[in-house]
Amino acid sequence: MSEPSVIARKQGKARRITLNRPKALHALNLDMCELMTDALLKWRDDADVELIVVDHAEGSRGFCAGGDIRMLQDSGKADGQEARDFFASEYRLNTLIQEYPKPYVAIQDGVTMGGGVGISVHGTYRVATPNTLFAMPESGIGLFPDVGGGWFLPRLPGATGMWLALTGARLKGEDVLAVGVATHFADEPAGLADKLCEQGVSALDSLKTKAEPSFAEHQGEIDACFGKDSVEGIVSALKAGSGWAQSQAETLASKSPLTMKIAHRQLTEGGKMSDFRDNMRMEYRIGGRLVCTENFIEGVRAVLVDKDHNPNWEPPTLEAVSDDLVDSFFAPLGENELQFI
Positions annotated as catalytic residues are: 67, 115, 138, 146
- Element holding 57 (H helix, E strand): none
Q: How many CA atoms lie within 13 A of 251 on its CB side?
A: 19
Which residues fall within 8 angstroms of residue 106, CB to CB, at 6 or more apart?
54, 55, 63, 119, 120, 121, 123, 125, 126, 127
User: Which residue type does 12 have?
Assistant: G
Confirm if 54 and 9 have CB atoms less than 8 A apart.
no
- Give the number of residues written for the chain: 341
CA 121 to CA 107: how far, in whole Å? 10
The answer to whether 68 and 29 are in contact (CB under 8 A) is yes
Residues 6 or more apart whose CB falls under 8 angstroms from that of 116 comprise 26, 27, 28, 62, 63, 64, 65, 66, 108
Rounded Cα distance between 242 and 12, Å, is 53
Q: What angle do CA 204, 206, 207 make, to 5 degrees?
A: 70
State residue 53 phi and psi, 5-degree precision. -120, 125
Q: Angle at which helices 243-253 and 231-239 pack, to 10 degrees?
A: 140
Backbone angles phi, psi at 134, to 5 degrees: -105, 140
3-class DSSP state of 16 = strand
Half-sphere CA count of 221, side-chain side, radius 13 A? 19
